[in-house]
Each structure stands twice: as C-alpha cells, then as structure tokens.
Structure 1
C-alpha cells in the first residue's frame, strides 16, 4: 500500500496556489498598471492634460496618473467617478461617488461634468481617460428626452428577457450621449488616449464600459431589432421607442463608426486584463518550479460542470513532476437553492466533490477566486480545496453534495476552512483558477 502524501507537502501546495493567485491579482493592480504605462515625456507637445477616470478602479488609476502628469499641464482638477465603496481622496482630482450596478442621479451629474469638461478641450490638448469595470453604470447620460429611469427600465427589460450582453450594449449605446464612442466625439478636436483595465473576456474595447472612446459598429436599426427580437419593444418607454425610430430615420446622428475622422487623434492602451493576469500566474508558477499548462484563457459555462471537466482532465494526466493547470474566465451559476456563495466558491466545492468521485490521487490543491476579492454576496474571494477537503467537511458534520445542490458553497467551505479571503482588491479582471498537482508517491 502506497503511503499518503505528507501533510506538510499539502500545506506548501496550498501556499503556492495562493502565491500564484496573488501574482494574478498584482498584475491587475490599477495603480501599478497606470504607472507602468505613463511617463512625463509622453505629455510633450500637449499644452494641457484633461484627466478623466471612471469605473471601480478610478481612484487608484487617477492617483497614479496625476503623480506622473506634469503639474503645470494638468487642466483644472481631474474628475474621477467610482462606486461609493471605492471612494477615496486623490490629490488634484475631484472624486465623485455614484451607484453601481443600477445608475443614480449622482452618476448622471458626474457624467454631465465629464461631458462639459471634455467638450471644452481644445486642439493641442490631451484628454486622458482612465477606464475600468463598472464604468457603464457609473456615468449614465441618457440621450435626447430619455430620462435616467426610462433608460434603466429599458435595460432591466432586456436583462430580464435573457438578452445577451452584446445586445444590451447595442441598445445602451444608442440611448446614451457618452457610450458607443460618444465621449470621443465630444473630445474632438482635442487628442484623446484611454488607458483601459478590462473586465471583459476577450478584451473587446467596445464592450468595456460600453466603449465610450471607441467606434461602434452597431446601428439604431440594430437596437430596434434587439428589442423586438427579445419581445420587449412594446414594453419599453415611448420616449425610448421614439428616439430609436428617429435615429433609424437619420433624424438623430448615429454613434461614430470605424473610420470616422474623430478617431484620427484617439488611442488606447490595455493596461490590465484577465489575459495579462493569467500570463502573470504562468510566470509565477514556473518560478515556483511547476511545469505549467494553460487549461483555458476563456473559462465559461456552468461552474459545477466546468469543475467536473477539469477534474476529468486532471485524472487523465500523467504527472511526472509538479504541474500547474491555470485558467481565467467567468463561469456562471444557475441558482436552484437558497444557499449562499458565489461562482468561484461553487466551482471549488464542485471540484472537490468531482475529484473525490473520480479518484484523483496524489497531492493536489485547487483554487478559484475573483480578482476583485468579492465572490457573490459574500466576504470571500473564492475557495481553495485539496484532497482532504471532503473529509474535513464530513468531520465538521456537513454534507458537501447537499450543500452544493442548495448553492450553499460558502457554508461548506467555511466548515472545512477552505474559504479564500483577500478583502477588496481595488481591481477586477474577472476570475482566476489554479490547479496544482504533485506526482503520486
């Protein structure tokens, strides 16, 4: 009979998984990401710099930028808009708290201030825009006669109908003055450059914060078709229908399209993303002595199903030296129970159960966590499980399978001491997964 792997090895394996996870989070640090991309010489040739930031990481990004922009070139005070929880003071910047995910009046006022500032920018001046996740909800600026409540109602109807996020964005862009390239249009003839921290898998710039600084390939006719196809056209407020119909008839200007001259002096730099964080994890794992495998850079689907697939993949591997299987993405959870947890905790619990059922041998540890430090409505970032997790849960008197069925992964992982708690990280580039396996003795 082969001896069980040493308990000390298991502790070290868990520590390595946490180190690799932290390397992924660090690569998305908004302050450092901006610091790495900016230098004072980049502002040569511009008479003034207008600093605008919006999103969950707006304060950290703005702090880094204002430390680098030559003080004599900073036009007035910068403007940063973030969710109330992330508000912090920034030198030379007016910080405005607004609501997320549902917009509020404070966000509308902030959007109007941004629009006024950007429209006053002149040729030979630069509008530096710092974009991070959540920006779409934080700076709502409805077009025409549409009210904020009418825009929210339209978005809610679309989401409830099961519309895909790209469909929702298509409609939102055509109901907004800032989204879908609207901010870039306001900035012309000044130059504009956006530093973007992506919370969107695949890093589609037109999807991040609904693309306020990039061209929009969709039309008013597309937006109308989205509402009709999802069965909500007759339910949306009349002001919304009239606005879209007027746009389709070319009585209202379209969103700026690819090739539009307003983008001649517009640029973008992706400063953080899930891909960048996954690559940082690969490097960290290699430095710790692991053979690395990129399992997926676009991990989607039902969390528990993806956990089972990963366990099956791991079981089929021939492991001759310590290996790290790494992934990034954003799974989903179909809520059927009344428990508490998040997609990362659910995936961790499901993996522990699947590994036990499939007989994954040797020493292993699996971590799934959200880079923002918040997984669902809990205080945990995710979960880290190992070969003894199910035993610890059973000894604590809980039923892992029953809790999984009740979507109560938080209770299960808390019982086994397997929650990952990082606190709020101040960034968000979706989720990261790490599976470490040592050769069986």
Structure 2
C-alpha cells in the first residue's frame, strides 16, 4: 500500500507510524466494511445492512447508484456479495474498478468536470426510472460532491468550478462549501432520493466529513437538507466570493431565497419515509484500527479526536504540545505512546506553492519538533490536496532549512519531497478523511 515504505521506515517510531496508517486504511476499505456490515441470507432472501433487514422478494429489481472516490470499490464489493441479484446500476468515480453489472463512470475531484456531468446524467436517468418496486442501493462516499456534478437550471459547470475553487482557496470548511453546492445542483441535498421516489432507497455511506452527518457526506444526495438558500448566500458573503463567475450562482440563490425556486427537501418531506441511510465507515473506523495496531506494538495509544478541523498549520501546534507534555510529565499517557487524530483541516492559500492540509500539517510539525517525536499525516484516499502524495512523515532528524519560507508560500509538497518525507500510496480505494499519528518514544 505504501510504495516507498522501505525508504521511510528507518526507525522503530517511523515503522510504527506507517503500520498505523496501513491498518487504518485497510479497516476503512469497502471490501472490509461491506463484508462486516452487509449480509445476504440466501435462505430467506433477506438483505441485512447493520441492524436493518430488507426482504428482496418484495422488489422487482435492485439498482446500485452513487459516486465518490470509493464508489467503484463499494460497487465491486456489492457485486461480490449480491451477484445476479443486482439488475443494473451506475457510479461515478476517479478511481475505477472492474465490475460486471454496475457501470463505473468517470468524474474528477476536487473540481468537478464536464465528463463528471455527463456521467451523473446516467445516474439520474437510472434514478428516474425507479418505481415503488425498486430497491436502490446508494453508494455515497467521500468526494461525491465534486464527482457527481449536476448543475441546476441556469447554472453552468464553469460557474460551479469557479465558486468551488474560490471557496477551497479561502479555507472554507466542507459544511459551508456543501451548502452552496446543494443549492446549485439537481442531485445533492436529498434530490437523488427525490428523483428515485417512490423507490426504497438504502444509503451506504462512507464518511469523509467531521461529524459524519448523512446530510453532509457527498452533499447528502439521499439525506434531508438542513441548509437553505439563505445559508448558501451567507457562505458567499462570509468568504467574499464576488467574482463575475459567481454572478449566476448568486442570482439563483437569491431567486430561491425569494421563494421563486423550490427548496431542497427537508426532514419533513414524505420522500424520506422510504429512505434509510447507513453510515458504514468513518474516520473513527481508521483511527480505531490504528490504535489497536499501536497497542499490539506495546504503545500506550490514545485517540485525541476524530473531529479535528481548522487551519492545518495551527492545529499541529496543539498536537505537538500534547506529545511534548508526554515526554516532559508522562501526561496524559506515558511513553512509549502514540497519539492519533482524524478530521479535516483546511489551508488558506496565500502563496503559489503546491500542497494539501496533511502536507502542511507535517511541515508545520517539523518546524515545531524538539525531542523524540515522529509525526505522520495522510489523506486516507491517497491524494492530499492537488498533489499525488498521500501525506508525509517527519521527525527531528530532517532538515528544516527553508521550511518556514515553504510554509509561508503554501509550498509544503516541494519542501517535503526535497527532504524525502512524502508518503506515496496511490489511490487507496477508500476515503474517510485524514489520519494523523504522533509517535513518542
């Protein structure tokens, strides 16, 4: 999984950090998750998803729909489990996988593309064709917001691309970005479930968002929308999105806020009487597996939080401070110890460099380190920000010369590459947000 593991694992602490990363990603992979959470009883023709049962004899067909970075892996796992019970389906992803009954269609992330729009049309066509005798299995994983673009009327893909870039560069969190996305889409904010009604819809969700709300994962295609047109306008105002490219989106949002356009369906909408969402994997899934791996290696392992958010370069200071406290006082645990956290930090882009939140976190950690502390941070999908690196691994042995300038210029990828710190995995087949490990010897 980690292609350059041998080059990175030069100390016991580094090797432990990499083992925790591997365990966390494997635990959150759809092959593992679907096998543990979904079961087919051939004798009774019953599909069990967690604690819910679905009598397959009540349906004329089973259709798989969805999208996200791990959607193809979910589709393949479902085909392996259900076989010819699946009649048809389509998922959109940027990480393809071979399937026989479910179409795997291309899209792009983090900025949506024209081919993603075309692929999403097929998903909507299948949703429209569902009826009361259809069971829809909706595979929604992290990245679905960008991979399933379906611009609403009067909105172009270019409009959505521009506003998405502006919000990402401004350091907007995913909740704010998704509030805008939902109100510029024909699919997000519960509208996929609305298209499929009156079918029975079972959401199989892999969360890459803090809090794991079905309404936020992938912009909530199968979940009630708690946001409004007014909320979306507030986001544009708060982050100062005033470019010419945003004018069409602002016009649509203002029309909706004035009652000229229908709101996205909320929790009181009757379409959700036939919808159940199951959050099958989260950041905590990866964290728990990483913790058990550290314990088996003799470390006192602690999960600090699965909900870390805010600026990456600021959150790292608290993480390193806790590790330093362990070294100095033995609190909150005694060394050897491993500290773990998940969530989603952001980067406010001020320079012209390349990187992502995990790379910026590890560069910030390198500049803070003083003692026997090793720090690793990765995006579990294998691609941090716009780079091809999953993240990085640093310790006090690496040079910091030029690091401050690289941090100022948001140029973490170039710098960490120059000191041999990048973690390279390629696409991992899953996406449950960020995984951070601090090893204290």
Q: 1:128 Cα deviation (Å)? A: 0.5
Match of 2:346 among 327, 332, 356: 332
In structure 2, stretches of 5+ residues that fail to align are 1-8, 41-45, 48-53
Q: Contact 2:209–2:343 at 8 Å: present in 1 too?
A: no
Q: Please tell me whether the aligned partners of residues 53 and 61 of structure 1 are also in contact (alpha carbons under 8 angstroms).
A: no
Q: Which residue of the other structure, out of 90, 112, 120, is the alignment partner of 1:79?
A: 90
Among candidates 265, 289, 295, match of residue 304 of structure 2: 295
Deviation of 1:347 (Å): 2.6
Which one of 37, 44, 49 corresponds to residue 62 of structure 2? 49
Bigger CA radius of gyration: 1
Distance 1:157 1:415 in 2: 29
Secondary structure, in 3 states, of the residue corresponding to 2:429?
coil
Superposed displacement of residue 235, structure 1: 4.9
Secondary structure of 1:175's aligned partner: coil
Report matched runs for 1:73-222 at 5 Å.
Answer: 73-75=85-87, 77-83=88-94, 86-153=95-162, 155=164, 165-222=174-231
Q: Output aligned runs, 1:4-83, within 5 Å.
A: 11-40=11-40, 41-42=46-47, 44=56, 45-71=58-84, 73-75=85-87, 77-83=88-94
Tell me: CA distance 1:337–1:175, structure 2 relative to 1, closer, same or farther (3 Å): closer
Which runs of no fewer than 5 residues in structure 1 stay unpaired?
1-8
Q: Deviations over 1:333-368 (max 9, x none)?
A: 445555554432333333233222xxx3xx442222
After superposition, the C-alpha distances for 1:235-277 in whole angstroms (9 at most, x for unaligned) are 5677656644554454543211112211111111112211221
Q: Within 1, Cα distance between the matches of 2:23 and 2:82?
A: 28
Secondary structure of 1:301's counterpart equals strand
Name the CA shift for 1:142/1:312 in 2 (closer, same or farther; >3 Å). closer
Provide TM-score, normalisation by structure 1.
0.83
Partner of 1:5 in structure 2?
Answer: none
1:400 deviates by: 4.6
**TM-score normalised by structure 2 residue count:** 0.83
CA contact (8 A) 1:274 1:329 kept: yes
**Change in 2 beyond 3 A, CA 1:127/1:315:** same
The separation in 2 between residues aligned to 1:339 and 1:150, in whole angstroms, is 25
Q: Is the partner of 2:295 in helix, strand or coil?
A: helix
- Superposition CA RMSD, Å: 3.0
Q: Distance in 1 between matches of 2:248 and 2:403?
A: 51
Q: C-alpha deviations, 1:30-61, integer Å up to 9, x for none?
A: 23222322222315333310111311112111
Deviation at 1:19, TM superposition (A): 0.7
User: In the TM superposition, what whole-angstrom CA distance separates every residue of 1:155-188 from its partner, at most 9, and x where no partner exists?
Assistant: 5566677765434322322222211111111111
Considering fraction of residues, name the structure with more strand.
Answer: 2
Cα distance, 1:202–1:88 mapped onto 2, change above 3 Å: same
Residues 242, 321 of structure 1: alpha-carbon distance in 2 compared, 3 angstrom cutoff: closer
Alpha-carbon separation, structure 1, partners of 2:160 and 2:414? 38
- Measure, in 2, the Cα distance between the counterparts of 1:148 and 1:105: 7
Residue-by-residue CA offset, 1:404-424 (whole Å, 9 max, x unaligned): 555444455445443322232
Asked if the contact 1:366/1:386 (under 8 Å) is kept, the reply is yes
Distance 1:311 1:224, change over 3 A: closer
Q: Distance in 1 between matches of 2:249 and 2:353?
A: 38
SS of the aligned residue for 1:264 comes to helix
Q: In the comparison of the two structures, how many residue pairs are matched?
A: 415
More deviation in 328-337 or 149-158? Answer: 149-158
Moved more, 34-43 or 12-21: 34-43
Q: Is the 2:203–2:277 contact (alpha carbons within 8 Å) kept by the matching residues of 1?
A: yes
**Conserved? CA contact 1:34–1:195, under 8 Å:** no
Q: Distance in 2 between matches of 1:228 and 1:346?
A: 27
8 Å CA contact 2:181–2:188 kept in 1: the answer is: yes
